[in-house]
Amino acid sequence: MKKSFLLLLLSTFSFLQSQETPNIIIMIGDGMGLTQITAGMYSNNNTIALEDFEFIGLSKTHALGQLVTDSAASGTAMACGIKTYNGVIGIDKNNAHQPSILELGQKKGYSTGLVVTSSVVHATPASFYAKVPSRKLYEDIALQLSQHSLDLIIGGGLDFFNKREDKRDLIKEMNQYEFVTDLKEFQNTTSDKIGFLTYKKEPPKKLEGRSPALDELVATSLEKLDARKKPFFLLVEGSQIDWGGHANEMDYMVSEFKEFDKTIEKVLDFAKKDGNTLVIVTADHETGGLTLKGGNLEKATVKGDFSTEGHSAAMVPVFSYGPFSKLFAGIYENTAIFEKMKQALNAEQ
């Protein structure tokens, strides 16, 4: 009798553990299609962190009424679970504002943050907190971010906060935040809410010396969020993989991917040690229509051609690790990424 009761107790405890609300980290390589990943892998001595992920799926990226998406529509699909028009952020076809997975997490008591290599008001990060009819309304997006209460805000775009047409200084208005100015300050601060606006406008290329490195920023962010002893939601974007594709510059694209891959490795190491962190790595779309035509494995070089300076309609891979990761296997619309994250979010605490 005692043995049966003990087995029942252990089984129940195991079930409850499996249902525990996990940390959720979504990492978006903007413009990172399968060929970008392949080019980065062969340029990195034929190895990448993505090889350690448990499940792989494919995401259909089309926008509402258009086969080729932009980052606003695709970001909104993943963040809010709806198809919308290109250029639109957080608003559906009926002009209704839709809550994002980050906002649902906040209601559940999650800590929240974003770390990007673009400005923090760019289309992809904005999809997780803003509701605007045009992605180009950067000052409106910055205002919404200033009122949103994320715990960590890291990326470029300082001028959209304190060099505004309306003359407001949102940095001063965000008096609950400590705004740090370098990596050391970020590492040392003990503030509950932290802003690190790394550049006045869009950050430069990695090839031009952008710093701090994305992996360093994310490693510190994980330390800060983990120390709070409650679940967290973190968005990480390797934003400029996309910009390298738009420029049709292989070196630009590959260097941005390599930094993103180093960041994935840091996140995966954290998830393996933590044991209750769901990691999703995907893209909003492919950029450049890249075709790989050759290269040299021993020299870790690749050669390729781009077919467009815009985006393509190719499906993009979705890699997942940790609790609920099995949900991300298969082929599905990009809106399903929201639904799958929501399942993880709604697990019993």
Q: What is the pLDDT along the chain (349 residues), one digit of tens a residue?
A: 444 444 444 443 443 344 589 999 999 999 999 999 999 999 999 999 999 999 999 999 999 999 999 999 999 999 999 999 999 999 999 999 999 999 999 999 999 999 999 999 999 999 999 999 999 999 999 999 999 999 999 999 999 999 999 999 999 999 999 999 999 999 999 999 999 999 999 999 999 999 999 999 999 999 999 999 999 999 999 999 999 999 999 999 999 999 999 999 999 999 999 999 999 999 999 999 999 999 999 999 999 999 999 999 999 999 999 999 999 999 999 999 999 999 999 975 4
Query: What is the pLDDT at residue 133?
Result: 98
Query: What is the pLDDT at residue 347?
Result: 77
Name residues whose C-beta falls within 8 Å of residue 188's C-beta, 6 or more positions apart in sequence. none
User: How many other C-beta atoms are found inside a 10 Å radius of the C-beta of residue 202?
Assistant: 17
Query: What is the pLDDT at residue 40?
Result: 98
Query: What is the pLDDT at residue 131?
Result: 98
Query: What is the pLDDT at residue 20?
Result: 80
Matching residue, tokens 């940390």 = 23
What's the CA angle centered on 195, arms 192 and 198, to 5 degrees?
150
21-345 architecture in CATH? 3-Layer(aba) Sandwich (3.40)
Matching residue, tokens 């790394």 = 198
Report which DSSP code applies to 92.
-
Query: What is the pLDDT at residue 19?
Result: 54
Name residues whose C-beta falls within 8 Å of residue 127's C-beta, 6 or more positions apart in sequence. 71, 72, 75, 76, 78, 79, 80, 89, 90, 100
Told to judge if 71 belongs to the known catalytic residues of this protein, a careful annotator would answer yes
Q: List the catalytic residue out of 4, 14, 18, 71.
A: 71
Tokens of 170: 């949102």
Give the pTM.
0.94
Query: What is the pLDDT at residue 15?
Result: 38
Q: What residues form DSSP beta bridges with 26?
A: 235, 280
Q: What is the domain partition of the chain in residue ranges?
A: 21-345
